[in-house]
Structure 1
């Protein structure tokens, strides 16, 4: 049997994950408000069929299936950026949720350029290497 996860500490009165998600949706709009609807679902599936492996993992000599279609250029609700498939990249969840988030922080602060947001960019590979704990 696997190890049990320690119970998460939650200060009294702190919002639950569900309440936090509801609050975030109010602030940025729900997933469907942001364009993630049936049309997106079909486009995403087609893209992943054509691009089945994570771009970031391939750049680090790893082979991992892509499960996420990432918008290289954060679209912030702009439909033109949202549907520009030349700016989509196939990503595993780990690259999308960790490396790409760090890249977007750097981009928002002006420290890196748009082309650095590709998960196979030199900076993305360097960030991924620094984050990986399973490298030997």
Structure 2
């Protein structure tokens, strides 16, 4: 299904230009550690833990496609490679629920334990997002 073109004010950057600006600010994926070593570690982790932690907490079985760093690493290699703080999740949980949880964490309204997608707070956030989407 073809989607209608989205409105973009004159002079506003395109999505591609926005991504380029973001890469300049935070570095591209490779500069942030997402290289061939990460690819191998990601595949190994997903083979050992193939189900989305957030979906499983909601009673649904969905294959995980993302390995999430529970504790945002912000470029810290020790946090980046701490496998005890990795969780398997689907793209929806990573891109919506986890982002909302990280915002709450940044504003000190959530703890590190709340960032696990099977935490009670994460389940509440997921249910709230799903209700908003319906």
TM-score (normalizing by structure 1): 0.95
Q: 2:128 aligns to what? A: 130
Q: How does 1:61-80 map to 2 (within 5 A)?
A: 61-80=59-78
Instruction: List structure 1 runs of 4+ shifted beyond 4 angstroms.
Output: 133-136
- CA separation in 1, counterparts of 2:32 and 2:115? 20
Deviation track 1:42-97 (CA, whole Å, cap 9, x = no partner) reads 00000001111100000000111100000000000000000000000001000000
Structure 2 counterpart of 1:107: 105
- Which among 20, 41, 54 is matched to residue 18 of structure 2? 20
Q: Helix, strand or coil: the match of 1:90? A: strand
Is 2:85 the counterpart of 1:87? yes
Q: How many residues align?
A: 134
Unpaired runs of 5+ residues, structure 2, are none
Unaligned runs of at least 5 residues, structure 1: none
Q: Which whole-Å CA distance do the structure 2 matches of 1:35 and 1:113 have between them? A: 25
Cα deviation, residue 4, structure 1 = 2.8
